[in-house]
Structure formats: C-alpha cells, structure tokens
Structure 1
Amino acid sequence: MLSRTASDLYWMSRYLERAENMARMLDVSYSLSMMPQDGRDGLDEIAMPLLITGTLEDYLGRHGQMHAERMLDFFALAADNPVSIYSCLGAARASAHAVRGRITADMWENINASWLEIRGIAQQGLNRYGMSRFCEWLKERSHLFRGATYGTIMRNDAFRFIRLGTFIERADNTLRLLDARYEMMSIKALDSVDDESAWSYYQWSALLRALSSFEAYTEVYRDAPAARPVAELLLLRADVPRSLRACTDEINRILSVLPGINGRPAQRRVAEMDARLRYTGIDEILEAGLHEWLNAFIASIRELGAAIHTSYLEVV
C-alpha cells in the first residue's frame, strides 16, 4: 500500500475517533456543569475540554472572557477552530474522499452524511439543536461508521490502518480524560471534599459513562467509584474496550501483522508498552503518582504515533 493512502486511512480514522471522543468529553462536562457547583457557575466544568485539548488560550485570545455558550460553540462547531468537532469531521471527510476507492460505499456514505448533517447543525446553532442531542448524534454516527467498517471492508492493510488510527487516538483520549478528572478531584481533596461524597461519586461516574465503562465498573467492583478502582479499570483491564490496556493490545496485534521491516521501531515500542501494562499493578502506578504516570504514558503514545508515521506514513 502507498504511504499516502495508508496515511489518509489512518488519519480518517483518527479524526473520526477524535470527534467522538471530544463529544464524549463535552457531554460529561456539560452534564456536570448542571450540578450544584458550591456557589460557582459551572464554567470550570465547561472549560475542561478546552484545557484537555490545549485550546483554552486560543479561545481566550479570540473571545477575551469565559462564556459558557461561546465555549461550547467554539469546541463543537467553530469552523475556524482546527480542533473543533466540526473541523475533525471535515478533515475525516477530506481524507475519506482521497481514498474513496479503498473504502466501501457504506463507509463513504456514512462519513459524507455526517459531514452534511453537522454543517446543517452549525447553521441551526447549538443552542437551538441542543447540546446533549448533539453529543448523542455524534456518538451514534461514530457507532454507525464502525459498524459499517467492521461489516463491509476486507480484512486487508486498509482495514488495519483504519483500526490502528482508532486505537492510537482512543488510548490518548482515555489517558487525558482520566488525568484531567483526577487532577480536579485532587484539587477538591485539598479543599477537604470527602472522596466518598456525592460530588465525588458523580465525578467518577461521569468519567466512566464518558468512556462507556460504567456498566463494566459495576460488574467488576461493588464499591462506589473512586480513584483506585476507576484507574485500575481504565488502565489495566484488557476486557474493557476503551481501557489503555485494550488499546495497546490491539495496536500491538495490528502492527505485528503489517508487512515489511520498516515497522520494527514502532512494533518494538508498542510491545514494550504492552508488556509494561501487562505486568504492572495499580498499586505500583499509584505509588509512582497517578498524574506523573499518566503524563509519561501520554508522551509514550505520542512517541509511538511518531514511530508509526516514520515507519509507514511518510511519503518516500
């Protein structure tokens, strides 16, 4: 497969996964902002997606002050924000168009329809369409694309690069969401907020729901959600689809079957990451400091992405 084709398939998948992940992030922040905020107005929660994606300074440079409606629109539908959900879907559609002959009709129709629909939503306005409805719509479109992909495309290198992009993006998102929520909980702990309080329960529950892992948590653990079991579930459980361990397992499996010897640096890196997760316990992670451990692994995911780019996606 040509590097340019592999790159378009890979980034098509990454942008679609990124759009879904941002919708999940936005949904949980918006829902939590509706809760009592101890005298605050919920702007901290709505600003969380901007902090996680590193776009808060860009927002402030354009709008000058924190405003809930503008922040939501900037993150979701702003065409001039390169990391907005709108921009991600546009980039995914452009990549899909470039490899129209390598994906199935069902896949293309799903992406194209999603792009046309979000343009209509942008014209209508998020306030009129509804934030929760928008996030559910985007998750549904993402599910439909994955179903169309899994059910219609041949199990060849095109399929593998699509899946590779999905799991690289998903691993990064899980780490960032967990880190952001843990940092907020740590700040609250300094204000003497009990970890077993109702506020804590809703924070951890919202994170689990954002990662479609709440039902898995209730099946594995009996206690209310807290830092240790939530981190263990989202980092080390291979049977939880959006966990870090599940993502690295899939990436390792995909890279191991891609042809050629150029991919050895990426294969070696992900094998080391997978072994690290396989033989690490949650107590070791917490002892090292969860925030520090998560940030180190985010850097490892970034380095793995760079190795994949060098090995497979650079045009030679």
Structure 2
Amino acid sequence: MLSRTAADLYWMSRYLERAENLARMMDVSYSLSLMPQAGQGNGLEELAMPLLITGTQEAYLQRHGALHAENMPHFFALDEQNPASIYNCLASARANAHAVRGRITTDMWENINTSWLDMRHIAAQGLGKYGISRFCEWVKERSHLFRGATVGTIMRGDAYRFIRLGTFIECADNTLRLLDARYELLGEEVDTIDDRSAHAYYQWSALLRALSSFEAFADIYRGSPRAGKVAELLLLRPEVPRSLRTCLEEIDRILSSLPGDNGRPAQRLAAELVAGVRYITIEEVLQQGLHDSITRQIEHLHSLSNAIHSAYLEAA
C-alpha cells in the first residue's frame, strides 16, 4: 500500500475517533457543570476542562478574552476557526475519506459523508437550538455507526489495519488525558477519606461514563468508584474496550501483522509498552505517582505514533 493512502486511512480514523472523544469530554464537563458540586463560577471551570485537556484554552482566550458559558461549547464543538474543534475533526476525516474513496466501502463513505452534511446543518443551527447533550450523543452515534460499517463491510487487508491502528492510538491517548485531568482536578481528595465524598463520586462516575466504562466498573469492583480502582480499570484491565492495556494490545497485534521490515522499531516499542502495562500492578503505578505515570505513558504513546509515521506513513 502506498504511504499516502495508508496515511489518509490512518488519519481518517484518528479524526473520527478524536471527534467522538471530544464529544465525550464535552458531555461530561457540561453535565458536571450543572451539578451543585461544580462550585463557584456557575460551572465555568468545569466547562473549560475540555479546553485545558486539549491545550486550546490559550487560543480560546485570545479569541474571546474571558471564559463564557456560551462561547466555550461553541468554540470546542462548532468553531470553524478552531483547528481542534469537533467540526474541523469531521471536516478533516471527510477529506481523508474522499482521498481514499476507492479503498473504503460504500457504506463507510456514505456514513462519513452524511455525518459531515449533518454537521454543517447543526453548525448553521447552533448549539443553543440543537442542545449540547443532544449534539454530543449525535457525534458518538455517528462514530459508532462508522465503526460498525467498517467492521461489518471492509475486507480484512492493510486498509482495515491502518484504520484500526489510528482508532486505537487516538483512543489510548484520550483515556490517559481524561483520567489525568480528573485526577488532577480532585487534587488532595484522592489521598484522603474525602475520596469517598459526593464530589469525588460524581467526578469519578462522570469519567467512567465518559469512557463507557461505568457498567464495567460496577461488574468488576462494585461499590463506589475510588481513584485506585478507576485507574486500574482504565489503565490495566484487558476486559475494558477503552483501557490503555486493551488499546496497546490491539496496536501491538496490528503492527505485528503488517508486512515488511521497516516497521520493526514501531513493533518493538509497541511490544515494550504492552509488557509495561501487562506486568505492573496498580499499587506500583500509584507508588510511582499516578500523574507521573500517565505523563510517561502519553510520552511513550507519542513516540509510538512517531515511529508508526516514520515506518509506514512517510513517502520513501
């Protein structure tokens, strides 16, 4: 497969997964901003959390000057001038899909093209009329439909592998950033009995729901969510679809199935990262410091993404 084609497929899936993940961030922050536990500022700090996680708060402040309950959701979701908005993620995904129209199925193309046309209609309508929660659910639904069309219709060749590779890279990065943001937001509460407070309960529960892992937590641990248990679920449990371990194992499996020797550095790094989460305990992670551990994992994932790009997505 040509590197350009592989890159378009890879980034098509990354942008679609990113749009879904951004919607998950936005949905949980909006829901928590309506809670009494949101504190002072009418929930503005909670609404600004997606900007902090994605590193776009400075760009927002340059445009708007101050945090505003209506401007922040629009900037994050529908702003055409914000390169990191959900709107531009879907635009980029559609452009990549168009470039490889002959390598994806009709069902996949029609899904992503329809999503883009609907997005333009929603953007013209505005979040105020459409509704923030409704918009977030729509983004997640469109992503799920595309994933179902992909799994159900495309031949299991290199195109499928690069699509899934982009999905799991993006998913792993999102899980790490969301977990780290919630852990940092709770601050000292995670080390005290207040970890069982109502505030902590809503924060951890919201995180689990954002990652579609609330039911999994209830099945495995029961009881109220606590920092250590939530971290173990989202970092180390192989049964959880969006956990770091699951994503890394899938990435390792996909890379091992790709032909050629130029991918060995990426394959070796993926195998090392899988071993790192497969043979460590949550007690060891917490002893090292959860924030420091997550920061290292994000850096490792970035290195793996660069290795994949050098091996497969750059023109020779």
TM-score (norm 2): 0.98
| CA–CA separation in structure 1 for the residues paired with 2:127 and 2:193 | 34
1:182 aligned partner: 183
Shift of 1:187: 5.2
Distance 2:166 2:27 in 1: 23
Confirm or deny that 1:135 pairs with 2:136: yes
Alpha-carbon shift at residue 198 of structure 1 (Å):
1.1
Aligned counterpart, 1:260: 260
Residue 189 of structure 1: CA displacement?
6.0
Confirm or deny: 8 A CA contact 2:91 2:116 kept in the other structure: yes
Q: Which residue of 2 aligns with 1:197?
A: 197
Task: Give the distance between the partners of 1:283 and 1:104, measured in 2 at CA.
Answer: 46
Matched with 1:61 is: 62
CA distance in 2, matches of 1:280, 1:195: 24
Once the two structures are overlaid, the 10-residue window that deviates more, 237-246 or 29-38, is: 29-38
**Offset from partner CA, 1:47-94 (integer Å, 9 cap, x none):** 000000000000000100110110000000000100100000000000
Deviations 1:178-228 (A, max 9, x none): 0000000115569x8811111111100000000000000000002200100
Q: Please give the root-mean-square deviation of Cα atoms over the aligned residues, in Å.
A: 1.1
Q: CA distance change for structure 1 residues 26 and 187 in 2, over 3 Å: closer, same or farther? A: farther
Q: 1:187 to 1:47 in 2, by over 3 A?
A: farther
Unaligned runs of 5+ in 2: none
Could you say which residue in structure 1 is the equivalent of 2:250?
Answer: 250
Partner Cα separation in structure 2 for residue 83 and residue 6 of structure 1: 22
Aligned residues: 315
Query: How much does 1:291 deviate?
Result: 0.2
Give the 3-state SS of the residue equivalent to 1:68 in structure 2: coil
CA positional deviation for 1:39: 3.4
SS at 1:297 equivalent = helix
**C-alpha deviation, 1:40, in angstroms:** 3.2
| Structure 2 equivalent of residue 213 of structure 1 | 213
- Alignment-mate amino acid for residue 270 of structure 2: V
How far the C-alpha of 1:166 sits from its partner, in A, is 0.1
1:171 aligns with 2:172: yes
What is the DSSP-based 3-state SS (H/G/I as helix, E as strand, rest coil) of the residue aligned with 1:194? helix
2: CA distance, partners of 1:291 / 1:160: 32
Query: After the TM superposition, which residues 1-316 of structure 1 pair with which residues of structure 2 at under 5 Å, given as runs?
Result: 1-36=1-36, 37-186=38-187, 194-316=194-316
Please give the alpha-carbon distance, in whole angstroms, between the structure 1 residues aligned to 2:89 and 2:79.
11
- Aligned partner letter, 1:278: R
For 2:295 and 2:40, locate their aligned partners in 1 and report how far apart those are by CA, in whole Å. 31
Q: Give the aligned residue type for 2:166.
A: G
Q: SS of the counterpart of 2:203?
A: helix
CA contact (8 A) 2:13 2:164 kept: yes
| Identity percentage of aligned residues | 69
Q: Deviations over 1:4-61 (max 9, x none)?
A: 0000000000000000000000000000000013333101110000000000000000
Q: Distance in 2 between matches of 1:279 and 1:188?
A: 28
Q: Pick closer, same or farther for the CA change 1:52–1:93 going to 2, 3 Å.
A: same
Question: CA–CA distance in 2 between the matches of 1:315 and 1:193?
Answer: 55
Letter in 2 for 1:84: S
The range that moved more, 99-108 or 29-38, is 29-38
- C-alpha contact 2:190 2:227 (8 A) present in aligned 1: no
Equivalent-residue separation in structure 2 for 1:118 and 1:146 (angstroms): 18
- Code of the residue aligned with 1:252 in structure 2: it is D
| Alpha-carbon displacement from aligned partner over 1:132-190 (angstroms, at most 9, x marks no partner) | 00000010000100000000000000000000000000000000000000000115569
Aligned pair in 2 of structure 1 residues 187, 84: CA closer, same or farther (>3 Å)?
farther
Runs of 4+ in 1 over 6 A off after TM superposition: none
**Could you say what secondary structure the match of 2:241 adopts?**
coil
Which amino acid is the alignment partner of residue 222 of structure 1? R
CA–CA separation in structure 2 for the residues paired with 1:72 and 1:274: 36
Aligned partners of 2:104 and 2:34: how far apart in 1? 41
